[in-house]
């Protein structure tokens, strides 16, 4: 576990990471190409992770969880799984991401009812439904103040009635529980934003056909979600006016932070592939990787990965110290999390491209796996506002500092 340096010091966490790495290397790496097409392979791979405790890692022991709270450990787990398949990593991450608002609001009604099933040894899935057909990433843009949300929730007696449509959420149609970003009144801006939980099989909840994607084809299911007079108890709202907006911003920040190790897992796998490949191919009487030109290219790949990893681990430690750095959804940590995602995604794209250049046509064929990691990593770069909105969040956090100097 040397790659995580001094950022993870808990012996229990390091032991858990070691167990996951061994499982990934032995059981999942041989299946990684099958995970593109074969649902049975996905069930086998994820089922093994569930037995190891990955699904319940972030939940309190009160519910049967492992109680892992360190953001650095959570990120490292994501990177280790993503070395085989980042969609597999995402599938396990969206469960705590879905439940984060309820936990942040200390909503015991939701936590007591739904958390136990995620702490079982039965594979589960969660879903955080954000994006809508008309607005794209606008909902993640704080400047929009929730004004573009079209999915509406109306309180009728003791029930919320939800109507609207969501696009692209991970886990759509296969999740056991949905956390829906909606509004009670767009005119109230952030105060109107509501995070409401909807269990699967709730009447009025339906789904479109899963998207036929370039990457993460089986391990991450994306589809439209339709809400037609969906009714849930009023207690299924995470917090309340104003609170839910802050909880949502925390979710966006966490999503961007954990995207960094997810994409870097792809980059690390590609580095391992190219290091081995260039050792077994020769010209001029010595292995390809021993020539200065190719060695310099591999060095740039390694430098990018190591620096991006150190960056996300550094920011993860800030997430652990809210007294000093504030909440994840505040401007400072939002900027830091966004920057880790931008940088890690750019590094991964560079690593995949360099690997293909070093391997020539072999890098372009499925047999050598590089093309898989290039396909899988691209969607990570695009989600949660893409690199453009993330960069905007980064630079805006510097303006008050620059003006106050």
Helix 86-104, helix 243-280: angle, nearest 10? 160
CATH number at residue 233: 2.40.110.10
Residue range 127-136, pLDDT digits in tens: 999 999 987 7
Residue 257 sits in the same domain as residue 390: yes
Would you give the distance in Å from CA 322 to the centre of its chain?
Answer: 21
Residue 189 sits in the same domain as residue 297: no
Residue 198 sits in the same domain as residue 260: no
81 neighbors 265 (Cβ within 8 angstroms) = yes
Would you give the distance in Å from CA 87 to the centre of its chain?
Answer: 9
Residue 207, CB half-sphere, CA atoms under 13 Å: how many? 20
Residue 271 sits in the same domain as residue 378: yes
Number of domains in the chain: 3
Residues in contact with 348: Cβ distance below 8 Å, sequence separation at least 6, in sequence order: 263, 264, 266, 267, 270, 373, 377, 380, 381
Q: How far apart are CA 175 and CA 120, in angstroms?
A: 15
- Of the candidates 280, 304, 303, the one whose C-alpha atom is nearest the C-alpha of residue 358 is 280
Residue range 186-234, pLDDT digits in tens: 899 999 999 999 999 999 999 999 999 999 999 999 999 999 999 999 9
> Which of 86, 118, 150 is the last residue in one of the domains?
118
Residue 321 sits in the same domain as residue 213: no
Q: How far apart are CA 131 and CA 126, in angstroms?
A: 16
CATH number at residue 275: 1.20.140.10
Structure pTM? 0.95
As a whole number, mean pLDDT of residues 125-150 equals: 91
Residue 373 sits in the same domain as residue 348: yes
Query: Which H/E stretch holds residue 177?
Result: strand 177-183
Residue 283 sits in the same domain as residue 382: yes
Residue 255 sits in the same domain as residue 237: no
Tell me what pLDDT residue 404 has. Answer: 47
Cα-Cα end-to-end distance for the chain: 41
Would you give the distance in Å from CA 233 to the centre of its chain?
Answer: 29
Q: How far apart are CA 32 and CA 129, in angstroms?
A: 27
Name the residue range of residue 44's domain.
2-118
Q: How far apart are CA 178 and CA 63, in angstroms?
A: 19
> Which of 206, 221, 241 is the last residue in one of the domains?
241
> Which of 219, 241, 263 is the last residue in one of the domains?
241
Tell me what pLDDT residue 403 has. Answer: 47
Residue 393 sits in the same domain as residue 263: yes
As a whole number, mean pLDDT of residues 288-293 equals: 92
Residue 171 sits in the same domain as residue 102: no
Residue 207 sits in the same domain as residue 257: no
């Amino acid at each position: 576990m040397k790659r995580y340096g001094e950022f993870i010091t808990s012996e229990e966490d390091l032991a858990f990471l070691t167990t996951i790495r061994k499982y990934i290397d032995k059981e999942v790496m041989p299946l990684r190409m099958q995970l593109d097409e074969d649902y049975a392979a996905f069930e086998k791979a994820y089922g093994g992770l569930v037995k190891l405790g990955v699904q319940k890692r972030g939940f309190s022991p009160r519910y049967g969880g492992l109680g892992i709270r360190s953001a650095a450990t959570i990120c490292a787990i994501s990177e280790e799984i993503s070395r085989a398949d980042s969609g597999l990593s995402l599938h396990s991450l969206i469960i705590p991401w879905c439940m984060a608002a309820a936990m942040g609001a200390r909503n015991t009604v939701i936590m007591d009812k739904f958390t136990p099933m995620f702490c079982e040894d039965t594979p589960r899935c969660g879903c955080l439904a954000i994006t809508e057909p008309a607005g794209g990433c606008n909902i993640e843009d704080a400047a929009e103040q929730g004004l573009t949300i079209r999915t509406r929730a109306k309180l009728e007696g003791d029930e919320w009635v939800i109507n609207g449509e969501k696009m692209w959420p991970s886990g759509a149609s296969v999740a056991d529980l949905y956390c829906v970003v909606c509004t009670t009144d767009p005119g109230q801006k952030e105060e109107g934003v509501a995070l409401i939980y909807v269990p699967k099989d709730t009447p009025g909840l339906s789904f479109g056909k899963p998207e036929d994607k370039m990457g993460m084809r089986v391990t991450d299911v994306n589809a439209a979600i339709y809400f037609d007079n969906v009714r849930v108890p009023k207690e299924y709202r995470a917090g309340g006016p104003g609170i839910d907006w802050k909880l949502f911003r925390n979710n966006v920040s966490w999503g961007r932070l954990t995207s960094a190790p997810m994409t870097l897992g792809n980059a690390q796998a590609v580095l391992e592939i190219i290091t081995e490949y260039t050792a077994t191919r020769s010209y001029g009487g010595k292995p390809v990787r021993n020539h200065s030109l190719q060695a310099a290219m591999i060095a740039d790949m390694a430098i990018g990965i190591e620096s991006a990893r150190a960056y996300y681990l550094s920011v993860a430690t800030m997430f652990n110290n809210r007294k000093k750095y504030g909440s994840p959804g505040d401007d400072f940590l939002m900027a830091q999390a966004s920057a880790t995602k931008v940088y890690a995604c750019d590094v991964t794209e560079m690593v995949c491209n360099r690997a293909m250049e070093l391997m020539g046509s072999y890098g372009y064929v499925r047999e050598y796996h590089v093309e898989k990691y290039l396909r899988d990593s691209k969607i990570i770069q695009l989600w949660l506002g893409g690199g453009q909105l993330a960069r905007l969040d980064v630079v805006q956090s510097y303006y008050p500092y620059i003006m106050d100097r």
